[in-house]
Structure 1
Amino acid sequence: MTRMPEGQIFSDPRNDTAVMAAWERFLDGGRPTDSLRTLIDGSWQRCQQQNVDPDKCSAPPPVEESTLFSLKQHNSELLEASAPIMACARDFLAETGTMMVLADTSCTILSTEGDDPTLGVAESIHLIPGVSWTERVCGTNAIGTALAVGEPVQIHSAEHYCAGIKRWTCSATVIRHPHDGEIIGVVDVSGLSESYSRQSLALVVTTASRIESKIAMREMERRYVLLDASLPRWSGAMAGLVLFDRRGYPVKMNEIAQAAMSALGAEVDLARPRRMLEMAIDEHGQLRQDSALPAWLQREWLEPVVDSRGQRLGTLLVVPLPRLGRAVSGEGARDLSHEPAHREANLPAGFATIVTRDPGLREAVRKADQLARSKVPVLLLGETGAGKEEFAQGLHKASPFRDGPYVALNCGGLTRELLASELFGYVDGAFTGARRGGLVGKIEAANGGTLFLDEIGEMPLDLQPHLLRVLEQSEIYRLGENVPRKVNFRLIAATHRDLRKEVADGRFRMDFYYRVAVTSVRIPPLRERCGDVRALAEHFVERFCKQHDLGPRRLDNELLVHLENYAWPGNVRELRNVIESMLLMSDQECVGLDALPPELMSGAEADTAGLPPSAGREARAVASVSSIAQGEAELIRRAIATTRGNLTRAARELDIAKSTLYQKVKLYGLEGEICRMRGS
């Protein structure tokens, strides 16, 4: 917002005569003089266009008591946050000839406090609860004009548009919700002209800021209560879960949900959360009826989250497993999820649960095992689902910190505020509603052990220096605390992003990058690991048959050939879920090609479909690459080919947003590939 010059912000009582003359000239069809502020000129123009009566002596009568009660109920959050501040107005505005007014977004006054004589005089112009003071109704006035321009305003005496209000001076500003800047009300200080003071504007700006701070604390409190109330649903979840707060903002999601939303053609980004009005709750605890659900969302997927008193706190979106196709199963599920039943010979003890026959992955394990003996941070590089957390656990088991705790946190799964509190914790009384005794953050919980930060590339830029300071000084401050706590832990971070590019683009701090990436291990994607698809498929069949008590099952060889020839953009996680889905959906002892999900059948690589596994591997070997960019371009090219130029399906195969795929296609000049595939 562009800041107005000081002369435009404040009224000047010395100009009253000139302003009055300008008003009379304006009503006669003339133009105002230079003595009129731009703010007032614009407001008068709006009043004239809306046919406001300049001779009006007061605002209209107040609404019925029942209507005012409903308005107060609708604005209960604003009233609760402002109540202690408005109560103070009784004392500090007494005998000042001024009063404080709180209004909603329709400029209807909800409450007033202040100097008793002034409150009495205000009744003569209906500056009382239940009356709307919009410009359309009352002409130029601080309440209505502040809402019209969305910034602090001061309106004095003759600057008012209606004759009956020109005895007054008033200052007002809008109150914005601290999370998204949405205007939720207006606060005003008014009095007769003799009470004019520049400080009145400073007072309303400070008051609005205090109310916004109260709302921010209460909102954080509500989110913690919401998270606690929804906690039982996250453990062992077999569906995509997205938790929305009472205003319709996503607060938390599990890793299945990202794939689920993408498959449905929708997106939820916790790093830049967008409000979904259809998920907002009204004052009666019901979903808003004025917003229709999007086409991809079914109402039966929505579950209310309530507290112990039955009061609705938010909404849980549950996308059922059968609709996820290749999505993962279970929040926080390990990327490889291997059990000791398939121990591979010659792998170090810490990594013995990994199922692999591939020399490339074995070399990555050997390097990780060597690094595990040191205490320096390790950065794990790999695509989504390639096995980064399995490697992190292996590094912990073989490290000097193996007797300490292993604590994991996904930096991309929480909003900025919740991520900060999850990392650093907070003390008792840090904010209204904070848990008694405070909260131990993940960093402190990992003291003496290992802290694994997955998707560290998603960490907000302003949080990175705080974690850097912890790594440099080995001490943390809980939120609301000014006494440091010593910590000693081993950091393992993981990302699927190119952090060097993120640094170059200004989305990741260079000093933080060099502190986190002291050493790194690249985990090859499944499509580069010869023989692992078949080995993992057999392992998952054995595992899920036992887990779901399915009896003996095996995969048909033709099905295994198709699995080996598929590109697996979701890597081991995707393979695991496909195997589980096929086993659950099939009742045959020998699971054949007919059990393959349709998207995999159509997405099997066209150039290798029907060929023996060796031919498929050779075709993939031809597409071997020497850089991340080249590899990304080749992966996108294959996705375009296998989906015959269908970018919606291609984006789903690649597990990225369709808008991101369009950008990549343009970046790598693949438009011709799309045209050729669609024309073939």
Structure 2
Amino acid sequence: MFSNPRNELRVSQAWETLLSGGELPSGAVRTLVDQSWQRCAQAQVDPLRRRGALPVSEQDLYLLHERQKDLLEAAAPVMACARDYLAETGMLMALSDAHGTILVTEGDHPALDAAQAIALVPGVTWSEVACGTNAIGTALAAQRPAQIHATEHFCAGIQGWTCSAALVRHPLDGELLGSLDVSGLSATYHRQSLAFVINTASRIEARLAMVEMERRYRLLDHALGRWSADGQDAMVLFDRRGCPIKASAHAQRAIEALGGGLDLTGQQRVPSLRAGRWRRGTLPAGLPAWLRGEWLEPLVVRGEQLGTLLVLPGRSSGGAHGARGAARAAPMGEVTTLVPRVAAGFESVLTRDPAMRALLDKARVLAASQAPVLLQGETGAGKEAFARGLHGGRGGAFVALNCGGLSRELLASELFGYAEGAFTGARKGGMVGKIEAAEGGTLFLDELGELPLDMQPQLLRVLEQGTLYRLGETEPRQVRFRLVAATHRDLRQEVAAGRFRMDLYYRIAVTRLQLPPLRDRRQDISLLAAAFLQRFRSEQGQAVETLSDEVLAVLEGHAWPGNVRELRNVIEAAVLMRAEGPLRPIDLGLDELREPAADPHRAASVDRGDSLAEGEEAQISRIIAGCGGNLTLAARRLGIAKSTLYAKMRRYGLRRASGSASH
């Protein structure tokens, strides 16, 4: 994969042999370079070429930028960071489209000036056919990252340069969008340039995913009213790229009845439905034979076409297709997501709150994706329930690990596993870590903000390369899993404070869901309390009663610093203490936590202060004091494990109330 500057002379001799018509000695050049040289020779590329071709006109470059607007917007902040990184390194970064035409460049000013000599500038196409073997063109031709150094270039005029390039693909369907290249004069060669450009390209893809998912959310919000408003039972919603993202219950069968071959459970696109290629009053070019233009409706929000709605002929439409539609018996408006095996799983999330329902709609869309998801919210807000919902029924296991409350050594072994004899006391035969255990499934890392800073690069490598090393092993293991991370911290503030790596944050925060605290979901308190009461009464074999108005008033008047988990624990404890008869307000044990002048606005301001950590510290201190230093009770009221409470107390330097010896 990597170039070796020590081989320049041997590679140069092989190049001359190739030009003279001779056969290259076995192993004279890397396979990647050998195959590229052969393609260049077949395409009759001039090996004496000194520079790239003339750039396109300013008008054509402007039009090219307009067509690649999404890619450029996603890349802009990432390349701005790269510009700072490449300052005074003698290197530049170039972003190209899928044909190898450079869109923009950033980097060290002397490098940008030197690039003018070989036309490594915006508007110039650096495909292999145009410029011979080079990182941009070779990466695109070989469909893999490429590092090309000095004499490995096919054209003589470019052999004074070194370059590394990675592909940029659309994160939702894998479409090739272009390449990202880092180049400089040959003296600037660095083996790690390839890793740097691969990582930077993945950050661009992550930003593209965030933008596309936000567009999909807006599209769903705009289209959801149509499912019940229309009198049809076979509908498909396509995003702006022509990918199906939602379908009514029997849409698949309706398409098959029409002779269509569109698989709604996969990532198959209908390219002719891509936004910008058609509009209302015109028919998209290249429609499949089974699909009629009159069944399509472009969905435009504020002048932007976000997608397309396909309404297939149903029972009421009559005609030739009406008989086919009569075979469908599903209720009108019944809707399923396109990957039903992962769409389910949110049944445990009970809510009447509109904001929470909207969040669930977004989560159901994400359940069909492999993109990493970051769940943010206070402790006990239900992040694990959302994580299990995102896992749904996909293959593989759901594996959870709380990164808080564990020592660094124990966390490393739990996460990565270890080999036999890796350390004193290591289990015979070693141990499989949580990452490996999640193979083909979902890894849920709770309290990710607690992950030690020096361990974060190891997790980033696993996410970027799909490989891990068990502790004590030197052989990599391939892993494939979907990551769902959760934290009560604002990771952007943690990044700014130097406690969390920026590159890891952008890798895990491809999509984010902010879970509201229970105090902002007041109408859900009675719903959740009744559900917990039914669950725990049934487990104890007791009769289930209806909660009295007095009990509900106490529950709804509580601030719930421990959120849903605290509510669950309070109801469970009350059921255990009150085995017979309906629950009474005194059974809840909430009076001991009330402050002298309880003010929900004050409580909210503490919890939502300038720093989440400061709010948490104040909350924990207040609860410990209210429990008289009893940490077991405090942990239960906070809805966290006692080991987690100990870890947080150590972090904030908190102590139990003086004079108390009870844990």
TM-score (norm 1): 0.51
State the 1:141 CA deviation: 0.5
1:255 and 1:330 in contact (8 A); partners too: no
Provide the identity percentage.
46
Aligned-pair distance for 1:481? 3.5
In 1, Cα distance between equivalents of 2:38 and 2:281: 39
- Structure 1's 196 and 286: CA in aligned 2 closer, same or farther, altered over 3 A? farther
The CA deviation string for residues 389-415 of structure 1, in whole angstroms up to 9 with x for no partner, is: 9xxxxxx9xxxx9x99799x9xxx999
1:272 lines up with 2:272 in the alignment: no
Gaps of 5+ in 2: 401-437, 439-443, 449-482, 489-514, 519-527, 536-663
Q: Deviations over 1:519-539 (max 9, x none)?
A: xxxxxxxxxxxxxxxxxxxxx
Kindly provide the CA deviation profile for residues 435-476 of structure 1, in whole angstroms up to 9, marking residues without a partner as x.
xxxx999968xxxxxx9x9xx99932258668xx9xxx9x99
Match of 1:78 in 2: 71
Which residue number in structure 1 is paired with residue 252 of structure 2? 258
Report the counterpart of residue 366 of structure 2 in structure 1: 418
1:25 equivalent in alignment to 2:30: no
Compared with structure 1, are the counterparts of its residues 271 and 461 closer, same or farther at alpha carbon in structure 2 (3 Å cutoff)?
A: farther
Post-superposition CA distance 1:579-614 (Å, at most 9, x none): xxxxxxxxxxxxxxxxxxxxxxxxxxxxxxxxxxxx
Give the direction of change, closer, same or farther, for the CA distance of 1:442–1:24 in structure 2 (3 Å limit).
closer
Q: 1:302, CA displacement in angstroms?
A: 0.4
Partners of 1:208 and 1:241 lie apart in 2 by 36
Offset of residue 41 of structure 1: 0.9
Residue number in structure 2 paired with 1:326: 327
Shift of 1:222: 1.1
User: Greater CA deviation, 242-251 or 276-285?
Assistant: 276-285
Query: In the aligned structure 1, how far is the partner of 2:29 from the partner of 2:281?
Result: 47
Name the structure 2 match of 1:110.
103
Do the aligned partners of residues 121 and 241 (structure 1) sit closer, same or farther apart at CA in structure 2, a change above 3 Å counting? same
Whether 2:177 is the aligned partner of 1:184: answer: yes
Tell me, yes or no, if the aligned pair for 1:426 and 1:479 is still in contact at 8 Å: yes
Match of 2:565 in 1: none
CA contact (8 A) 1:100 1:187 kept: yes
State the Cα distance separating 1:310 from its structure 2 match.
2.3
Q: Secondary structure at the residue paired with 1:113?
A: strand
User: What corresponds to 1:459 in structure 2?
Assistant: 393
- Residue 7 of structure 2 corresponds to 15
Asked whether the equivalents of residues 251 and 414 of structure 1 are also in contact (C-alpha less than 8 Å), the reply is no
For the residues of structure 2 that align with 1:104 and 1:404, how far apart are their CA atoms? 45
1:92 corresponds to 2:70: no
Residue 152 of structure 2 corresponds to 159
* RMSD over equivalenced CA pairs, Å: 4.4
Q: CA 1:480 to 1:22, structure 2 compared with 1: closer, same or farther past 3 Å? A: closer
Distance (whole Å) between structure 1 residues aligned to residue 104 and residue 289 of structure 2: 41
| Residues 70, 406 of structure 1: alpha-carbon distance in 2 compared, 3 angstrom cutoff | closer
Give 1:265 deviation, angstroms.
2.2
Aligned to 1:296: 290
**Native 8 Å contact 1:278 1:288 kept in 2:** no
Distance 1:333 1:181, change over 3 A: closer
Match of 1:35 among 28, 32, 50: 28
State the alpha-carbon separation in 1 of the partners of residues 383 and 299 from structure 2.
25
Query: Match for 1:481 among 471, 479, 486?
Result: 486
Residue type of the partner of 1:276?
V
Q: Deviations over 1:287-321 (max 9, x none)?
A: 998851122211011011121x1211000001132
> By how many angstroms is 1:268 displaced?
4.8
Shift of 1:326: 2.1
State whether residues 447 and 487 of structure 2, in contact with CA within 8 Å, keep that contact through their aligned partners in structure 1: no
Amino acid at match of 1:244: F
Residues 182 and 457 of structure 1, relative CA distance in 2, 3 Å threshold: closer
Which AA in structure 1 matches 2:271? L
Contact 2:280 2:297 in 1 (8 A): no
Does the Cα contact within 8 Å between 1:277 and 1:288 map onto a contact in 2?
A: no
Change (3 A) 1:442 1:231: farther
- Provide, for residues 54-74 of structure 1, a one-character-per-residue CA deviation record: whole Å limited to 9, x for no partner: 111111110011111111111
Corresponding position of 1:244:
238
**Alignment partner of 1:173 is 2:121:** no
Q: What SS does the aligned partner of 2:487 have? A: coil
SS in 2 for 1:144: helix
The 1:462–1:68 alpha-carbon spacing in structure 2 relative to 1, beyond 3 Å, is farther
Conservation of the 8 A alpha-carbon contact between 2:383 and 2:486: no
Rounded to whole Å, the distance in 1 between the matches of 2:22 and 2:126 is 27
In the TM superposition, 1:454-603 aligns within 5 A as 459-462=393-396, 481-482=486-487
Do the aligned partners of residues 417 and 332 (structure 1) sit closer, same or farther apart at CA in structure 2, a change above 3 Å counting? Answer: closer
CA contact (8 A) 1:426 1:441 kept: no
- Secondary structure of the structure 1 residue equivalent to 2:9: helix
Q: Once the two structures are superposed, what CA deviation does each residue of 1:532-559 show, in whole Å capped at 9, x if it has no partner? A: xxxxxxxxxxxxxxxxxxxxxxxxxxxx
Answer whether contact 1:280 1:287 (CA < 8 A) is retained.
no
Supply the distance in 2 between the matched residues of 1:107 and 1:247 (Cα, whole angstroms): 22
Cα 1:303/1:406, change in 2 over 3 Å: same
CA distance in 2, matches of 1:265, 1:217: 35
- One-letter identity of the residue aligned with 1:481: A
SS state of the match for residue 266, structure 2? Answer: coil
Note closer, same or farther for the CA distance 1:219–1:287 as it changes in structure 2 (3 Å cut): farther
Corresponding letter in the other structure for 1:419: A
Contact between 2:447 and 2:486, CA under 8 Å: does it hold in 1? no
For residue 222 of structure 1, the aligned residue among 215, 219, 223 is 215
Amino acid aligned to 2:241: R
Is the partner of 1:481 in helix, strand or coil? strand
Closer, same or farther: CA 480–414 of 1 in aligned 2, 3 Å: closer
1:332 CA drift (Å): 2.3
- The answer for the alignment partner of 1:48 in structure 2 is 41
Residue matched to 2:303: 310
Aligned-pair distance for 1:429? 9.8
Hey, what's the Cα distance between the residues in 2 that align with 1:20 and 1:198? 20
1:482 deviates by: 2.6
The one-letter amino acid paired with 2:12 is M
Partner of 1:620: none
Q: 1:43 to 1:238 in 2, by over 3 A?
A: same
Write the mapping of 1:199-210 to structure 2, written as runs, cut at 5 A.
199-210=192-203
Query: Alpha-carbon deviation of 1:209?
Result: 0.8
Given that 2:278 and 2:284 are in contact with CA atoms closer than 8 Å, whether structure 1 keeps it comes out as no
Are the structure 2 counterparts of residues 242 and 427 from structure 1 closer, same or farther at C-alpha, using a change threshold of 3 Å?
A: same
After TM superposition, give the deviation of residue 236 of structure 1 in Å.
4.4
Structure 1 residues 62-94: Cα deviation after superposition (integer angstroms, max 9, x where no partner): 001111111111111111110001112221111
Most deviating of 157-166 and 268-277 = 268-277
Query: d(CA) in 1 for partners of 2:278 and 2:116?
Result: 32
Separation in 1 of the partners of 2:310 and 2:227? 12
Secondary structure in 2 aligned to 1:102? Answer: strand
Kindly state the Cα deviation for residue 262 of structure 1 after the two structures are TM-superposed.
2.8
* Inter-partner Cα distance in structure 1 for 2:253 and 2:363: 19
Amino acid aligned to 2:288 = P
Change (3 A) 1:416 1:198: farther
Letter in 1 for 2:393: M
Mapped partners of 1:287, 1:98: distance in 2: 50
CA contact (8 A) 1:74 1:283 kept: no
Aligned equivalents of 1:44 and 1:97: distance in 2? 27
